[in-house]
Structure 1
Amino acid sequence: MALLDCVGLCFPCVFNTTPVLKINQATFKILNLLGEGGFSYVYLVQSKNNHGLYALKKIRCPFGNSNFKTAMKEVDNYREFGSPFIIKSIDSSVVQEQDGSKTIYILLPYFENGSLQDIINNNSVNNAPMDEAEALRLFVGVCRGLQSMHRHQVSKNFTIMSTMEPNESDEADENNPFLSNVDESIRDGTELQETVSFAHRDIKPANVMLAKDGTPVLCDLGSCEKARVSVKSRAQAITVQELSNEHCTLPYRAPELLDIKVGDKIDEKIDIWSLGCTLYALLYGYSPFEREELVNGANIRLAISSGSYTFPPTPEYSPAVKDLVRYCLVVDPAQRPSIEEVLTRALQVQREVSVERREV
């Protein structure tokens, strides 16, 4: 893995009364804070050289190697995927702080057009229904991004990082949910000859940004992991459950992630469920299970686990689009469609809607 080892330098100074950050010899003015969570912060920054705007993610790693490895996995994720529907980092740097902690900086594109959640919020404020054809266009783009993840050819520079120390016992290694069943060629970072499935694990409108040309781009790859996990022990079940609770937003979380037990198998189908929730949210303003909780007073976890939801009477959308949502929201992951099947169905619905519009 090509790592820009500790060549970045963060220092407080003043450049036109604006804080400045220097990374790998490039200087950026920090304009404002875009978001934060846990030990990470995302800033809007401007390049001193070309005056371009970027998003800079700062990850503090105060608790030693485990936290650092998790952050470095995220760095790898931002480099790994070559799809125009998945965000890719511009640069990154690791800084060794004086107190012994590390700080990771990831320079990312800044999406001036915002996210799908911004579209939903604007539609809500303006009491404007989402255009069906536009919702389908965005949905198809998200599908294409997920297809690149679910059917990914791992590059020879990619390393799946353990969240445990490398010298821990084999038993501990088996309890790590994202290292069990991993081929040794992946561990060594060598090139694979077969496709490996990755799952985003937190598909939702806020994690899909819009490029300048309107292309939907999957962002926030901190939750992205090798998709297929066989839960072989109680300790592993607890670990997977904790990671799911931390990274998978509840209203978009698949039923199989609500109560993980020994013997369970988790795969990329979790993204398909979230995909269905995202399409529903584009159409109606919130996930189907948020609506069950807010409108019908249902327990959101029970609604998700049973797949209980309804469609609002307004705005009106075609039966085919509603069926596309239903196609994704299948409680049993074994019966849930693959990303290829969802994309094929979405393109078919898109053609039908286009024909109907021309005939009107």
Structure 2
Amino acid sequence: MSEFFKSALGYISGSGTGGTDNDFVGQQVELGDQKLRVRRVIAEGGFAFVFVAQDIATGKDYALKRLLANDEEKNKAVMQEIRFLKKLSGHPNIIQFIAAASIDKSSSGHGQAEYLLLTELCSGGQLVDILNRRSSSLGCDEVLQAFYQTCRATQHMHRQNPPIIHRDLKVENLLLSSQCSIKLCDFGSATTVTHAPDISWSAIKRSLVEDEITKNTTPMYRAPEMLDLYQNFRIGEPGDIWALGCVLYMLCYNVHPFEDSAKLRIINANYTIPESDTTYTVFHDLLNCYFYTLESHQNNKTEPP
């Protein structure tokens, strides 16, 4: 990781400890040659906080993600997230990596390792917030543009060697840049590891993989093969493709096709396209291609579309 972690020596100036999001606001942060002032919190969840940070010299705003890790597993997960983002950065539909820094728990002052990840600021905010605020649905052209750009980001991940699997593709992880282009973010659940269950797998091994899936995916976006490992289908990139189908459905109807996260509904691809829909008929066949049942998967002996 040293090839892209810049020195964080003395990265916080001021009297605050930075122990909470409120304490961190107002602090001065140094990443490499950049000096930034932390302005405000824009998102938080788990052990991560995202702030707007302004370059003191230029006045330009960036997104600064602050991650705390109190054990080795979290340390590895954070480093992997930053590694993936750096590798994928440069694609027009993936959030742009700028810099990263870290300090270990012995130097942090609060007993946890701390990581700072600086990226471009997507001033348009989360796509899901825009969907929720709108009084009318997206037009077909808007749906097509948003979905096409999301697919391009996913394709870029899957074309890496080895392929990078996001595992948490959802509208909440789609941001809008100042130019209104889609930017995929949050690679904290991403992996290059795939699973190929077979009859030799023990119940314990299946349970461990199920625990991993539970930890890194959102229930209503899970693909059928993630919910029934005893069907012995490969778990990997197809899970992202299933999630893309969920994203398309949400862009059209502003509800999730499997809102209740019911296991049997997902396994049987039991979703409904509104009968009254005349606006998005052009997407109906595409939606049907994205959602597959384990039964059809078994009969066709092929990977999901």
* Residue 268 (structure 1) aligned with residue 270 (structure 2): no
CA distance in 2, matches of 1:239, 1:37: 24
- The one of 216, 235, 239 equivalent to 1:247 is 216
In structure 2, relative to structure 1, the CA distance for the partners of 1:204 and 1:44 (3 Å cut) is same
Q: In structure 1, what is the Cα distance between the partners aligned to 2:221 and 2:25?
A: 38
Please give the secondary structure, in 2, of the residue aligned with 1:266.
Answer: coil
- Quote how far apart the aligned CAs of 1:230 are: 2.6
Q: Does 1:136 align with 2:144?
A: yes
Q: Give 1:308 shift.
A: 0.4
Query: Which residue number corresponds to residue 326 of structure 1?
Result: 288
**Cα deviation, residue 275, structure 1:** 0.3
Matching residue within 120, 135, 156 for 2:131:
120
Residue matched to 1:277 = 246
1:311 aligns with 2:273: yes
Whether 1:78 and 2:85 are equivalent positions in the alignment is yes
Deviations 1:170-196 (A, max 9, x none): xxxxxxxxxxxxxxxxxxxxxxxxx42
- For the residue of structure 1 that corresponds to 2:285, the secondary structure is helix
The aligned length equals 282
| Corresponding residue for residue 118 of structure 2 | 107
For 1:203, what is the secondary structure of its paired residue? coil
Paired position in structure 2 for 1:354:
none
- Give the structure-2-normalised TM-score: 0.84
Q: Paired residue for 1:343?
A: none
What TM-score comes out, normalization by structure 1 length? 0.72
Following superposition, which runs of at least 4 residues in structure 1 exceed 6 angstroms of deviation? none
Where does 1:30-109 land on structure 2 (aligned, <5 Å)? Answer: 30-63=38-71, 65-81=72-88, 82-96=90-104, 97-98=108-109, 101-109=112-120
* Corresponding residue of 2:304: 336
| Partner AA of 1:325 in structure 2 | L
Q: Which runs of 5+ in 1 are unaligned?
A: 153-194, 294-298, 338-360
Cα contact 1:238–1:260 (8 A) shared by 2:
no
Instruction: Describe the superposition over 1:261-282 as per-residue Cα deviations: whole angstroms up to 9, x where unpaired.
Output: 5955212000111001101001
Gaps of 5+ in 2: 17-23
Aligned 8 A contact 1:234 1:261 in 2: no
What is the aligned-residue identity percentage?
Answer: 28
SS in 2 for 1:118: helix
Question: RMSD over aligned Cα, in angstroms?
Answer: 2.4
Q: Match for 2:264 among 302, 305, 309?
A: 302
Corresponding residue number in structure 2 for 1:226: 192
Change over 3 Å in CA distance of 1:18–1:142 after alignment to 2: closer
**How many angstroms does 1:62 deviate by?**
1.2
- Deviation string 1:26-63 (CA, Å, 9 cap, x unpaired) is 33222222222221111122221211111111111112
Instruction: Give SS of 2:35's match.
Output: strand
